[in-house]
Structure formats: structure tokens, C-alpha cells
Amino acid sequence: MAIQRLTTVEDYKGFLDRFDTFLLDCDGVLWHGSHVLEGILETVSFLRSHGKRLVFVTNNSTLSRANYVKKFERLGIMAEEKDIFSSSFATAVYLKNILQFPEDKRVYVVGESGITDELGAVGINCVSSADDNGVLMTHADMGTVEQDPTIGAVVCGFDINLNYRKLAKAFTYLNNKEQNAHFILTNDDSTFPAPNGVFPGTGSLAQPLIHSLKRTPLIMGKPNKPMLDCFFSNYHTDPTRTCMVGDRLDTDIAFGANGNLETLLVLTGVTTEEEAFAPSQPIKPTFMIQSFGDLVKAKDA
Ligand SMILES: O=C(O)[C@H](O)[C@H](O)COP(=O)(O)O
């Protein structure tokens, strides 16, 4: 099916009339870091005033839902925890409900507070790697990294303070065949969208572990099945009236397509128009728009 390009006020109005619920990716759609993209605040208010439901679906694991609420508020967007669905939350739900993670085991977290907070909120004991932030490792230290029999899983998310000491610990826990700890990535994004371009993302940061262990981790985030299953068990939306909006074909648009939803690609993030239209591109959005913030122009229709 050809991608429907939305460019006129009539296109925007026709598009909005088709849906009641929008699942919105965050980085690259709403904001870059702490910079809200043009027209987003107005579009969010306009959609809500017309009874549209907005759910924010993000692979970014660095904040808990409680802290996302604060971030949204700081940026001028009202949101409640129930409106936010993140890869950290999905990881916590998965460990608790699907793996029934044992109470006497702990999770070693290579990542930021979003993961430890969400795991803690469902009663899972964590060992945060944040204690090793900025702690350099020497060759002599290599003999000091010890096994920890209480570790039942290692969860890796985005970690701006990733270092060799954290990798050495995660490797040691995961390499113990008897312990057989679960290996979970919050998401597999190759790049991380920032205000001035893209940087290595969670999937790239986890490569040293994947390569050295020769183990395939379970990947929670978009577009993978665990996130999808977790989403549909937590939110009951009519799939025919729900649209997934994102800036990446390989995560957001694939996520929507895997859930049989229609999709809208925005061009304010990672995927370019050329990539989306490339004949060799297997993942195609239903719709494409320059920016989600353009939709407020439907007011004038
Ligand atoms: O590497 C990452 O963690 C991701 O690139 C990033 O956090 C993506 O978040 P999203 O676009 O799903 O909001």
C-alpha cells in the first residue's frame, strides 16, 4: 500500500476523524531531550479538547512513569501515570507477572533510575549499577569482580554512565551457566535521538555483552512482542480506531504494524523521508506527516 502523505488542512482533518486513540512515541515526536517540538503543545490540547485519548509509548527507559509525569508537566503537557507506557514499566510487568521473578533473587540493572524505580514499585529487588558511575576500572581490578548468587536477572537499558566495571559485572553474572540469570534489554534501538542529532542507543550499548556472552537477550521494547502483549493487556483500545505515531520505522511503525494498527510516521526524528520511500524498505507507515505538531492546523478546516 502506498504511504498517504498528509500535507493539507483537509488531509489533517480527515486523518483525525478516523481515530479516537493515538499512541505517541516521545523522543523525536514530542520532543528532543527537553526541547518540545513546534506545535506539539497546541496539538495535544486540540486533540484532547476533541475527546481523543493520548497514550505515550516510549522505549526510553531512563525515567519511571512517575518521573515522566513530572517531565511532561515541566514541558507543559498534562499526563497521568496511566497515560504513559514505557519499556521500563513493561520490563517490570514482565519480570513480575510472566517470569514470576523469585523474591529471594535480585536484578542487576545496567541503566538509569527509570528501571530501578519501576522494578522497585512492583516489589522486585534490584542492585543498581549507579554505584559504579564514574568508577574507573584498572587491569588489577579484573580479579576483584565476583559472582553474586543472588542475581537472577540482568536488565540493560540506556545508561549515559556505562563503563567497563558495569559491563564486567553484568558479564560475570550472565556468564555463570549454573546461575542461568535472565538477560533482558529494555529496548534494542541502535540510536538515541538528541537535540543535535543521534547518538548510540540502548541496543548499541548492549552489544559488548551480547558479543562477549554469545547470548541472545530478551528484548522488551517496541516493536517486540513482550511490549506489545504488555500494552494490549494494560490498555483496551479499539484497534481499528487507534493509530501508532512515531519517528522510527524499525521500532514505532513496526510496533503498530505488529499490533495490526494504522501508523503515522513523523519526519522530526530518526527516519528520513528517503528511507521511508526507499523501494527496498519493508516497513511502511500508513500515513506520513512532516511533524505531529502540524495537526493543530486541522482547527482551521
Ligand atoms: O536507545 C534508546 O533507549 C532509545 O533510542 C530511546 O530512548 C527511544 O525512545 P522513544 O523514541 O521510543 O521515545
* 223: preceding bond cis by omega (within 30 degrees): yes
| Residue 83 labelled as part of a binding site | no
Out of 219, 238, 272, pick the residue that ends a domain: 219
Q: What is the mean pLDDT of the chain?
A: 95
CA of 102 to the centre of ligand 1 (A): 29
Give the alpha-carbon dihedral of 132, 133, 134, 138, to 10 degrees.
Answer: 30
Exposed/middle/buried for residue 188 (C-beta within 10 Å: 0-12, 13-18, 19+): buried
Is the C-beta atom of 67 inside 6 A of ligand 1?
Answer: no
- 52 and 98 together in one domain: no
Query: Which cell is 298 given?
Result: 486541522
State which of 189, 219, 249 marks the end of a domain: 219
Please state the φ and ψ torsions of residue 127, each to the nearest 5 degrees: -115, 115
What whole-number percentage of the chain has pLDDT above 90? 90
- The interface predicted TM-score (ipTM) is 0.95
Same domain for 257 and 236: yes
> Could you tell me if 125 and 214 lie in one domain?
yes
Q: Is residue 76 part of a domain?
A: no
Does residue 232 lie in a domain region? yes
For residue 71, being part of any structural domain is answered with no
Residues 196 and 234 in one domain: no
- In tens, the pLDDT along 228-244 reads 888 888 888 899 999 99
- Residue 158 Cβ contacting ligand 1 at under 6 Å: yes
At 123, which CATH number? Answer: 3.40.50.1000
Query: Same domain for 191 and 117?
Result: yes
CB 26 less than 6 A from any atom of ligand 1? yes
Domain encompassing residue 286: 4-59+223-300
Q: Which of 181, 200, 219 is the last residue of a domain?
A: 219
| Shortest-distance atom of ligand 1 to CA 191 | 5
DSSP class of 179: T
Cell numbers at residue 139, please? 587491569
- pLDDT grade for 106, boundaries at 50, 70 and 90: very high
From ligand 1's centre to the CA of 236, what distance in Å?
24
Domain count, the chain: 2
* CB-ligand 1 contact for 15 (6 Å cutoff): no
How high is the pLDDT of residue 194?
Answer: 80
Active site residues: 25, 27
Distance in Å, CA 85 to ligand 1 centroid: 13
User: How many whole angstroms separate alpha carbon 291 and alpha carbon 25?
Assistant: 12
**What Å distances lie between residue 92 and 25, 56, 64, 153, 277, CA to CA?**
19, 17, 11, 12, 37
